[in-house]
Structure 1
């Protein structure tokens, strides 16, 4: 008798990602199989809500707080008290990811040209190797998760001014409206670089979308090679066809998102809870099955 059985297993038919840059921090993150914490939301009701120029984000800008003495709680509170000057969508440290503004609406994080285009996330400063590595893991995870959530693919804008992953420095260089150069100085102080960060974002995106084996799995191919059509530095990620691994469809095609009243007028479209939705997006989307006879 043919029996289908869903197994809880860490064996994967996917290959692990081949890093494009050498990084002791990224290797430390992989070795320890760091996961991202659940999203928290601390969004003030009085924050303004303005639409992006095309109705949704076109990418994400990576910032750091430029404050060696602050905490994530202090940063969030300061932002809420001074939002008329600037506010961002999220703060990240080694233990927490706190969304401080709804990513469906723009924030004031890097001048008008960037604000009407991008999500903004701030990296809170840490002071030891492990805490820094954990914060980088969460930082990269937040970027990959939001790219995926909004149907975007990783594409670095650092060297050509075009793409979905930006630093504040890249905004200053290519778009203007600001003159900041973060987060490069802070990353360099921890012997880390933007290229290492982008490589981790790219890898996390592949894992989340079921194109590379999760860190906690044993790959069936120990070569460490991941089949992708592009390297993470030179162009947009190309999504390959399914290779035998079941994936949960992250799109809502075929699901009713608009309700009509008795007069046939469309009511306000359904929007899922962002926190819950993104928490689910942060996890790899794959289900493994075995067939037993």
Structure 2
């Protein structure tokens, strides 16, 4: 799926990245963006609560984007989250994930995650920057795209999922919920830095009588629930848990692995089924870095997770903790 919105983004982004680092633009003075008032009253937020809608679990899939770009403050140091909207009616998170993975070298645009009413798909480590909102915003923020919904219930569920993803990332990186500072729309970053002309998701939200202030209130709800409690964000929290059985123990272990297989052009992957490893049908390129958020120990070897159920044995991996 593709839209004019994505093409406009690519023009700004192409100028921003001439290599693995950022090219800062110092000739545009950012506008001051005061922290906005957050309104708790929202019929959509109330609908989410009344219907007992719960966010889905975040899926971690390693995408094809092979640029590992530190934020301006360093790897693993984002300053907040930018909320986008796809402007592609009918496209699902699966559709958008597939499109971006196949076309980012041409359109010069990529984000960390896509969200719809039923899925949250994370396709690039949030420890590293992407190409979605112009050079300055790219160097600061995690970026997530919300897919368009066609019914009230779908919209509410997609908002719940999107707000959860934002809250999870803020909580993960120890950032507070601050509207206009750590939670921003693409519309806001366009006004702040003058490097893109996008206004999403403002218009789309307005179609549902919704606004960013109400969205941030929902983010805050989930964020508060995360304090002192478990989340359903998968294993990306880095919090350890142990499951014993058939010689397997599992633990959260967040960081990066560098992979290499001297005997081949690629590093083999394995799947774990019934707590036993089996050869996967894919591999990783030699001498490439991969984000990992969980390990398993089986028969004396440690395995590092690089996607939903794909693992690299320690024989081919060098781990660096986050």
Pair 271,33 (structure 1): closer, same or farther in 2 beyond 3 Å: same
User: Which string of whole-angstrom CA distances, capped at 9 and with x for unpartnered residues, describes residues 60-90 of structure 1?
Assistant: 0000001113222111111112213100000
Distance 2:103 2:140 in 1: 22
Tell me the matched-pair count: 205
Pair 96,256 (structure 1): closer, same or farther in 2 beyond 3 Å: closer
Task: Find out whether 1:90 has 2:94 as its counterpart.
Answer: no
Give the structure-1-normalised TM-score.
0.64
Pair 109,142 (structure 1): closer, same or farther in 2 beyond 3 Å: same
- Which structure dedicates a bigger proportion of its chain to strand? 2
Task: Find out whether 1:110 has 2:163 as its counterpart.
Answer: no
Pair 272,40 (structure 1): closer, same or farther in 2 beyond 3 Å: closer
User: Which string of whole-angstrom CA distances, capped at 9 and with x for unpartnered residues, describes residues 132-151 of structure 1?
Assistant: 00000001000000000011
Q: Which residue of 2 aligns with 1:169?
A: 187
**Where in structure 1 do 4 or more consecutive aligned residues deviate above 6 Å?**
249-252, 255-258
Q: Which residue of 2 aligns with 1:122?
A: 145
Shift of 1:41: 2.3
Task: Find out whether 1:79 has 2:86 as its counterpart.
Answer: no
Distance 1:80 1:256 in 2: 26
Query: Does 1 or 2 have the higher relative contact order (CA < 8 Å, sep 6+)?
Result: 1
Distance 1:271 1:250 in 2: 10
Give yes or no for contact 2:64–2:101 (8 Å, CA) kept in 1.
no
Distance 1:120 1:46 in 2: 14
- Compare 81-90 and 145-154 and name the one that shifted more: 81-90
SS at match of 1:83: helix
User: Gaps (5+ residues) in structure 2?
Assistant: 1-37, 232-236, 241-251, 256-288, 296-304, 309-322
Across the aligned residues of Structure 1 and Structure 2, the Cα RMSD in angstroms comes to 2.9
- Compare 29-38 and 41-50 and name the one that shifted more: 41-50
Q: Which residue of 2 aligns with 1:26?
A: 45
SS at match of 2:104: coil
Task: Find out whether 1:53 has 2:76 as its counterpart.
Answer: no
Give the structure-2-normalised TM-score.
0.58
Residue 195 of structure 1, aligned match among 190, 209, 213: 213
Pair 169,256 (structure 1): closer, same or farther in 2 beyond 3 Å: closer
Distance 1:32 1:142 in 2: 20
Distance 1:110 1:273 in 2: 30
Task: Find out whether 1:182 has 2:200 as its counterpart.
Answer: yes
